[in-house]
Structures are given as C-alpha cells and as structure tokens.
A and B are shown apart, each in its own frame.
Chain A
Amino acid sequence: MANVNMIGGGRYARGEGSGDNRRFEAKKIDVRALLVRLWKYLGRNRLLLVLALFLSVTSSLLVLYGPKLSGEAINAIDLGAGKVDFDTVFRCAILMVIFYICSSALTYLLHAVMLRLSRSVTKQMRHDVFENLTALPVGYFDRFQTGDIISTITYDVDTVNQSISADLLQILQSIVTVTVSFIMMLTIAPRLVLIFVFTIPVTFLFTRWMTKRVRPLFRTRSARLGELNGFVEEMLSGQKTIRAYGREKVVLERFDAKNNAAVEAYTTAEANGTLTGPSVNFINNLSLALVCVFSSVLLVQGKIRLGDLSSFVQYSRKFSGPINEVANIISELQSAIAAAERVFALIDAKPEPADAPDALVLESVEGDVELKDVDFSYVREQPIIQDLDLHAQPGSLTAIVGPTGAGKTTIINLLMRFYDVDAGGIYVDGNEIRSVTRSSLRKAYSMVLQETWLFHGTIFENIAYGKPDATMEEVIAAAKAAHIHSYITRLPQGYNTLLSDNGTSISKGQKQLLTIARAMLLDAHMLILDEATSNVDTRTEQRIQAAMRTLMQNKTCFVIAHRLSTIRSADNILVLDQGQVVEQGTHESLMAQKGFYCRLYESQFDAVS
C-alpha cells in the first residue's frame, strides 16, 4: 500500500495547490452533513460493518487480557527461588498462547473485512462520480481542468478510502484499548491511575497545540508544492518554445524561486511536524517514570504486588499510546474531509436535465430542421443569438460562415442540444427537440468536430465506435471513403493497430481522417461538419470532399468552414459576426446585398489577386 499512498499523496498535493481560481468549487459543506454522507456509503454494507465492529472489539480485548495474565504469572513466579507456582505459570502461559493466536487471527480477519468494506466504498464512490460525469452538460468540461477531475476520481477517492479503512479502524481500536486499559488499571491499582490525571491533560493540550501550530504549515507546504508542480507541468510542456526563444535562464530563475519556496515550506513543516514523535515518546517515558516511582513506593509499603506492577506498566503504555495517536488521526481526517468535499462536489454537480417523462424517441428522421425565434446566451446579459429563424429542408446544405470567434460552434451546440435555447424552439421533423430523448436526437446526426478524438483501442474499434455491430467490410468501406484505408493497410497490424495515448505514429491529419471514417459509418440523416477538414492537406481534402458530397446526398447538412468556395453550393448561408447572425440567404442573394458576406467573400479575392 505504501507505494500507492506515496504517489497518491504527491498527486493529491498537486491537486491541492494548483491555483484556487481554476478549481471546481468544493463548496463548504458542513462537516456533519459530510460525515452523514460518508456514513451512508458505509451503511450499504451493514453486515461487514457489524462484523468489523465485533472483530475489532474482541481482538483488542484478547490482546488486552495478555498483560493481566502475564502479571498473574509473574505474581506466581515472584514467590522466590524454589517456590515458583508452576501450575499457575503454565495455566497462564497456555491461556496467553491461545489468546494471542486468536487475537492475531481475528486481527487478520478484521483487516480482510475492512479491506472489503473500503473496497466496496471506493468502488461505489468512483462509480457515482463517473456516473454523474457522463450526465454532466458539455459546458462543465469547458470550464474545469481535466487533470483536476481525474485527480478527484483517483486520488481524492483514495484518500477518503484510506481514511475509512485505516483511521476508522484505529479509532475503533483506540476506544476499546483506552477503555479496557483504564478499567484494568483501575482494578489493579486505582491510586496509580491518578498519575494520568496529570499526563493525560498534558498530552491533550500538547496535541491540540501541535495541531494548531502544524496544520497551517502543512497547508502552506501543499500549496507551495502544488505551485511548483503546476509551474513544472506548464514549463515542461512548453520546453520546445522556451528553447526556441532561448529563455531557459529566466525560466530557471523562476523555477528556483518556486523551488526555494517549496523547500523552505517543506523544511519548516517537517521540522515542526517531527516535534510530535519525540514529544509523544517523552510523555510516554514521563508516565513510565512516574508509574515506576509511585508503584515502587506502593510496593515498598506493601500495597501492591510485583506482578500487578508489571501489568500496570504494560497497561499504562497501551493506554497512552492511542491518546498520543489522536493528533495524527485528526490530521489524517482533515485531509480526508477535504478530499470528500471534492468528491461530493463532483457527484453533486448538476447534470443535464433529464428527458421529459413523455419524451418521444425520434425514429426514421427525414431531416427537416427548423429554428424558430431562437434566443440564446452563455452568460446572462450577453445574448449570443437573438430571434434566429432558420429552416433547413431535408437534404439541404446549410453553411455557417463568419470570422474567427463569431460563435459558429454555438449553432452546433444548440442543434445537438449540448445547450438548451433560452427562448424559441428547435424542431426536427416538426418535433420540438426538448420533447424527444436526447439520445435519439443526437443519434440522428453524424458529426465531425474540429478537435479529433480517438480513444485507447484499435483502429477498427475507433472507426466502429458509433456503430458497435459494424462488420469489417463496412469499416473498410468507410475508411476507403475517408481515404485512410491505404494508410491503415500499410501499418503492420492494419486495422488491429492499437492507438495508444500519445498516438505515436498517427499525425493530426490522419487522426482527422479516422474521425471522418467514423462519421461515414453512421446511418444518420443529418450531418454536422465543424471545420472538419481544416487539418487535412488540400490534396487529401479534395478527395474527401468528393466522398463527402456522396455522403451528404439526401442528408441535411450543417457545415462550418472557412473556405468560401466550398460554401458557394450551399442552399442557405448563415453569416455570423461577433456572436450574432447578421445575414442569411444564398450566395447570390447575399452577394447582391453587398453586406458583410460580400465583404468577407471579396476579402478572399483580395488576398488571392
């Protein structure tokens, strides 16, 4: 476990520190509500929980009975040379053997039960997070860092889990140990217990003081470490550019500043944090000395026997142990609570509103798309689209044009219902899209986005992603249509080539072609192209466009492209500027208007001639 913990810890620290402004907000939930929720996760396995409780109490009791027995044996031995009561000694020894073996067996069982318990909690938590992740609106992922979400689902869940499996167990056993030791000490020598009236408050005050003092130091440490990690991550990813500009020295200076701050915070935290160990030992030794002196006094006065003294000393050690551990447990719990907050924040993030209960399933779509009086804005008071009317007949081509940043992808977001309109409505074959299921609406489109997305899997799996029952013939046909087939066959493993994370040998253009092949395979009657071919070189694009034209037949198409020559054949052109639809019409009518489109079009000629 240690191995996993350490790495997890490091990563967690990074998550912790990577700038407060861009983290998804872990709302300040009150701790009690949080514990109730954690309890609910535990409560799902009531049987295991009860078993764990039972095992932990019995195993602790068995171990705790040991000193009592050894004390009894020592009393029997203490009768002096030649007078040792061997019967008692053997009886005690046999009982001790039995008790210790049973106790160890029970401890192992307890570990096993706790492992299962924490495994089930972790699994459930990850499941819940992921489940909600898939339901979140697209906009959520535009706002938050991927790494942050990943660190929550892995490291934060782990932190919570470790706290549950380790701290919970420790608390449970500590309570048993402290109670039983206390009772035992009371039965052996009530007067000696008075010593703890002194040492317990000392321990308590000390740990409180330490926690208060050290916690902010460790917080600073995590923050500085996080800053360093963030800086390193950023600068290493830009290493090529930094080198190209020869800025290594300046960057190194900044790195050194962050490095120094991190090391300093680290040293301070460490130096103060390591006070605890020796101090705890000191208090232990102090109790031992006091117990020893006072019990000797009692022994001299004949108030207790030697064996009792022995057991008392052992119990006093057991008694002070857990109390001193409290400080550690509390700080562990702090980090677990912080982690749980982040996990729950992700589980609670608002998902896309559910489909209407009477939502229709779109079937055999004709491809008649109509937008009526649509208003939309990402941020209130900043309207992006106002009063937009658009009618795309089945099989027609709608081109969306406009300068950079004009908000062309917004239209796509609305068509696919990644966002809902603020007013007005969008109709597919006469059905308002909010009255049909999202999944059937989205399935009615095939889509090729600007950013290519491939996953860890074979080329075949990636192309067939949208059509799980696709045959090899279909996949090959799609790949041929996308002009990627010959490239694929040249690979040693052909269609079974595994696309790994860094996409090793696959260039950007080839990735784009694969996603086009994926879209080709779909049977949808509507098609969305978002600057899809801008990464492909012109020669290949010529071929693709020919194939696309075949694909587009009988399909309602929405195309975002910069190349005006390809848009001239559109049935309807939507011209956007600064987030607004400024003009709409065919190429001829728009040219005749001599408006924005006309200027845009002519600027291309201006550039060419």
Chain B
Amino acid sequence: MKQLWKYIRPHRFFILATLVIKFLGTYVELMIPDLMETIIDEKAPAGDMTQIYLYGGGMLLCAVCALVGNIVANRMSAVSSGKITRAIRHDLFVKLQSLSARQMDRLTVPSAESRLTSDTYNINQMLTRIQRMGIRAPILLIGGIIMTLQMDAALALVFIGLLPIIGVVVYFVTKYSVPMHMRQQTVLDKVVRVVQENITGIRVIKALSKSDHEKARFHAVNEELAQTGLKAGMITSVTNPVSTMVLNLGLTLVVVVGAFRVNSGEIQPGVIIAFLQYFTMILNAMLGITRIFVMWSKGAASADRVADVLELPEDLAVVPAEEGERSGKAAHIEFRNVSFSYTGVGMDIENLSFRLEHGQTLGILGPTGSGKTTILNLLLRLYDPDAGQVLLDGQDIRTIPYEQLREKFGIVFQNDFITEGTIAHNIRFFRDIDDATVYAAADAAQAEFIAEKEGGMDAEVVVRGNNLSGGQKQRLLIARALAANPEILVLDDASSALDYQTDSRLRRALRENYRNTTTVLVTQRVSSLRHADLILVLDDGRVSGAGDHAHLMQTCEEYRSIAQTQMGDRREGA
C-alpha cells in the first residue's frame, strides 16, 4: 500500500476536490427526506399551499444539485484513477522488462502477466469505486444516524442497536466465504488445466483412444467446481436476506415504539414516515460499506502483488571497470574459470575456460542437460557466473553498459519468440534496419520461402508463428539474428528443423557473407560443427573434449562415436 500512495500522491489535491464535491452532492441528497418530513408534518397539516410548493421546489433543487455534484465527482474519479493506473502499469512494465532471467523464472510469465493486467485493473476499480462510494456510504450511514437522532433519539436508538447484528452477519459470512472463493479459484485452475492438456495432447489422446478417460477426468473436476461453487454461494447468499430481515424487523419496531411516542405526544406521526425513508438509505449504505470493504481488500491484495514486483532488487547491475585490467592481446570471447549453478545445488557449469578470436566459430555439443544453453546464458549475461569471469575483448561483461553489450549480439534461442505481424517486422524486431539489409539477412538465412509467400516480406505471421513450419520459423529467426550484422552470432540449436542440404547452404552463406562475425553454435549435429575452429564436447557441466573436428576425432572417444553414428559409415556408402 505504501507503493500505491506514491502514485496517488501527485493527484492528491485533485482527489481531495473530488471528495469534497462528492461530499456536497451527498449532503444535499440527504436533505431531501428531511424536507419531505417538514412538508408532511408541518406544512401539509397547516394547509399552507405556498409553503408546500416552496419546500417541494427545495426538494427539486436538492435533487438537481445532487445530480450535478455526483456526476462531476464520478467523472473526476475516473480521470484520476485512469492516470494512476497508467503510471503504475508503465512502471511495472519497465520493471518487468528489466528483470533478470533468474527473477523472471521465479516470478513466471503467467504471474507477471496477471499482475500487469488483472491486478492493475483491480487497483483501478478500487480507486474509482472508493472515490465514488467511499464517501457516499459512510456519509449516508453517519448522516442518516445523526438526522434520525436529531428527529427522535429514542427511535434512532432502535435501529442503531440493530446495525451491529448486521455487522456480525457480514463478518461471519465474509470469514467463511473468502476461503471458499479461493478454493473455487483453485478448482477452476484444475478445470483449465484439464482442458488445456486435452487441446495440446489431442493427437496422443485420439491415438490412444483415451477420450472416455479424459471425459471422466473432466467430469470429476467439473463436478468438483460445481460443488465448491454451490457451497460458496450458499454461504454468500445469507447476507442479503438476513440483513433485509433485520432492518425490516427494526422498521416494525420503529412503528411500534413510534406508536407509544405519538400516543404520549412526544413526536409527530410524520417522524415515523421520515424514519422509514432513512431506513432504506441506511440499509443501502450498509450494503455499500460491505462492498467497499470487499473492494478494498481485493485492491490492497493486488497493490501488494504489484509492489512485490516493483520492489524487486535490480539484478545484474553494471559494475565499474577496474583500471588496468585489460591485459595484452585479448580474445574476442573468453571464459575464465567460470562456474555456475541455477539452484545453488550441484554445478551446472564447472570451471569452464576457453578463448575464441574474432571471426572464429565455437561449436558446443553434448547430451541433454549437459550445460550447453547455460554457457549461452552466461555469455549473454542473462545470468552472472558464481565464480570466474566472462570477458569480451578482455573486458569483464559485468562492466559493459547494458546497451553496448546487447548491440554486440545476434541470437536465436531454442523455440524462440515470434510475434504477430509481418515477416519483415519479425526480422527487424523493433530495430531500424533498411530493406536491403533485411533482404540480405533473409537470403543468407536461406529463407527463400518468403518469396513464395503471398505478400513476400509483408506476409502476415500469426501469433507464435503458427502459420509457419518449424524450418521456416528457424530461418526467419536466423535472419533476425543476422539483420543487424552482429559482432557475435549465437545460435542455440537453431537449425534442428532444417534438412541437411539447407543447413549446409546456410553455413556456407555464413562463412562467405559474415566472415568477421564470431559465431557460437549449440547443436546436436556433428555436420554443423565440422568447420568450427573450436568444439567443446560437454558432459554434465564439464568439458570432456575440446579442439577442432580432426583433433577431436583423434582424441575424444565420445565425439568420435557421435560422429560415426550421425555421418553413417561413409566408406560403405560412398
């Protein structure tokens, strides 16, 4: 909530003005039953027609003032809440973009997304509604009570005595229903999961004829959802009938007590009628306060969720370079005794060292989970190593300003991100790159399929690139990586969906057109690595072989056996 106040602060005078206008509007509205009582009790019995019309006109005037005041205040509340929401969202998005991979892993994308959308929406709702109703309901309640006390204290005490009963009912209903609603949300998650699994696994389910099994699974969660919903609903729906009953009984009591007081000449009968009017008002105010309470607690919960993200410490800060650290002839890329662990338990990369000169190619090969992608994550500074240094041109990457560091790389991750838009848009990827360069990159990436598409470069790509085949996606991504002529090209298993022919043409194009680009390749294919200047064979975070193809064929048993299985027994075949 402290964070939220920071955003409210610049608008505090505007909000204060809103509340004052709202207060005035509500105040005049409260005068209406008061005027009515005067007419019925004093003016009508006196038979003074002018006075009746005058007071009637007064009621009308109050109604108009209330209308204007409330409309103005409501509009103002929408404006200020909108501005506050926009600022929060902006800052939250900036923060989310700056999170390190490690922080994002912990937060998870769906959670980040819901904080940015539904939580900020909740905050907006809370801000507008509290401005709109937060002043009205309490004023109506307190004002109503004061007015009735003034009119007749004894009668007023009758229903003031009833209010705590309603309070207790609301308290208990909330206490029991909130956990129920949370449970319902969890069960709903289960339903979503079953449906999601059924859609993504449709081929497997159909192949194994498991539709009936899946229907039974769905039926179970569907039933559970219906049951929890029913239970929660049964509790929640207690509030309304019970509150209404209590107030109506109070109303009856007012009539009875009023009868005695009229009989003893202490009050006029008109007071009872006015009381009945205030009753409705107080009932609505009570319900309004309950709603505000619910809104406040939900808004506060959302504000806390947003603040949690905003308050995350800045990871991967840039460290000032130490003087004189650059020594002699620096390699383009150097890993110096690097160790790293994602979880802190066990080592994902252990004491890794290698050097790569400008324009050279590094190939990384190894079984699943051996740490290939981890090396890339460290090189790109998506994570910082636990020990050792990653150096670019002899400079520790922790000392390189963020934007300078990013400009050096062209990257294709595994299953990389494709956005909705045109092919050209995906290759440019929010950068200023001229058409000629885009076409050149696409050519080098062997993306000749673009020309065959209707619209060519302007052909539409749907979400996640669902209208492209695996191979087309990969070539598009490679074109993106090449488009800015990067110093370093990083490809993480980026050509796995390409056939050998296309793959080899791609590598030839890279050799010929991007001679000065240093390349880091992670792959499962030995053929992709054959021309690499340095090949690292990884096993469980450690290097089990390093050198070029010829060297490894002689020294590394693992590499040799992999190469032989993949390339086939050439002597026989040829």
Contacts and interface: CB of A to CB of B under 8 A. Distances in A.
A175 interface: no
B206 to A, nearest CB: 6
A84 B259 contact: yes
A540 B60 CA distance: 86
19 contacts: A89-B255, A89-B256, A100-B244, A104-B244, A134-B205, A142-B466, A242-B97, A267-B78, A274-B132, A289-B59, A293-B39, A405-B472, A455-B197, A456-B193, A507-B368, A509-B368, A535-B368, A537-B368, A600-B499
A367 interface: no
Contact of B249 (A100, A136, A263, A270): A100
B150 interface: no
A603 B527 CA distance: 11
Contact of A603 (B86, B117, B241, B504): B504
Nearest to B403: A246
B382 A603 contact: no
Interface stretch (B323-331, B333-341, B388-396, B404-412): B404-412
B418 to A, nearest CB: 8
A270 B78 contact: yes
B344 interface: no
Given A234-B419, A286-B60, A248 B98 contact: yes
Interface in A1-47: 1-4, 6-7, 10-11, 14, 19, 22
Most buried by A among B36, B291, B366, B503: B36
Given A282-B66, A285-B32, A438-B209, 15 more contacts: A2-B298, A6-B118, A74-B255, A77-B263, A115-B234, A138-B206, A238-B417, A240-B104, A244-B382, A256-B90, A278-B66, A286-B63, A297-B52, A405-B449, A537-B370
A330 B524 CA distance: 61
B112 interface: yes
Interface in A226-247: 228-229, 232-247
B70 A239 contact: no
Interface majority SS on A: helix, strand, loop or mixed? helix
Interface in A308-334: 309-310, 313-314, 317
B571 to A, nearest CB: 12
A381 to B, nearest CB: 14
Interface stretch (A125-133, A192-200, A384-392): A125-133
Contacts of A508: 368, 414
Given A234-B420, A292-B36, A442-B208, A7 B237 contact: no
Interface string B331-373: 0000000000000000000000000000000000011111000
Contacts of B118: 6-7, 10-11
Given A277-B70, A418-B203, A443 B208 contact: yes
A123 B226 contact: yes
A493 B47 CA distance: 89
Interface in B480-519: 496-504, 507
Contacts of A510: 368-369
Contacts of B249: 97, 100-101
Contacts of A379: none
Interface stretch (B9-17, B152-160, B210-218, B437-445): B210-218
A126 B53 CA distance: 60
Contacts of B226: 119-120, 122-123
Interface string B246-281: 001101100110111011110001101100110010
Most buried by B among A81, A456, A607: A607
B567 A608 contact: yes
* Contact size range, B: 35 or more
Contact of A604 (B219, B463, B527): B527
What 10 A-B pairs have minimum CB-CB distances, sorted nearest first? A246-B406, A404-B471, A509-B368, A238-B417, A565-B568, A81-B265, A293-B56, A278-B70, A104-B245, A285-B63
A526 to B, nearest CB: 11
Interface string A101-132: 10111011001100110011011001100110
A539 interface: yes
Interface residues of A, number: 171
A82 interface: yes
B562 interface: yes
B554 interface: no
B287 to A, nearest CB: 12
Interface string A240-267: 1111111110111011100110011011
B101 A453 contact: no
A238 B198 contact: no
B532 to A, nearest CB: 13
Contacts of B86: 259-260, 263
B530 A608 contact: yes
B430 A251 contact: yes
B117 A7 contact: no
A475 interface: no
Interface majority SS on B: helix, strand, loop or mixed? helix
B566 to A, nearest CB: 6
A51 to B, nearest CB: 16
B64 A607 contact: no
B93 interface: yes
Most buried by B among A11, A296, A468: A296
Contacts of A228: 117
Given A263-B86, A285-B29, A277 B74 contact: yes
B85 interface: yes
B122 interface: yes
A233 B93 CA distance: 12
A236 B109 contact: yes
A519 B74 CA distance: 63
Given A73-B255, A153-B191, A263-B82, A604 B52 contact: no
Interface string B176-194: 0010011011001001110
A502 B108 contact: yes
Interface in A527-553: 534-542
Contacts of B369: 507, 509-510
Most buried by B among A3, A111, A540, A609: A3
Contact of B62 (A10, A120, A251, A285): A285
B210 A310 contact: no
Contacts of B272: 74, 77, 310
B252 A108 contact: no
A447 interface: yes
Contacts of B570: 605, 608-609
A6 B554 CA distance: 66
A488 to B, nearest CB: 14
Given A84-B263, A228-B117, A236-B109, A274 B78 contact: yes
Contacts of B416: 241
Given A100-B252, A293-B52, A281 B116 contact: no
B269 A306 contact: yes
Contacts of A100: 244-245, 248-249, 252
Contact of B269 (A74, A134, A609): A74
Contacts of A271: 74-75, 78-79
A127 B222 contact: yes
Given A130-B215, A279-B67, A293-B53, A267 B82 contact: yes
B229 interface: yes
A383 interface: no
Given A278-B66, A285-B32, A539 B562 contact: yes
A497 interface: no
Nearest to A142: B466
A147 to B, nearest CB: 9
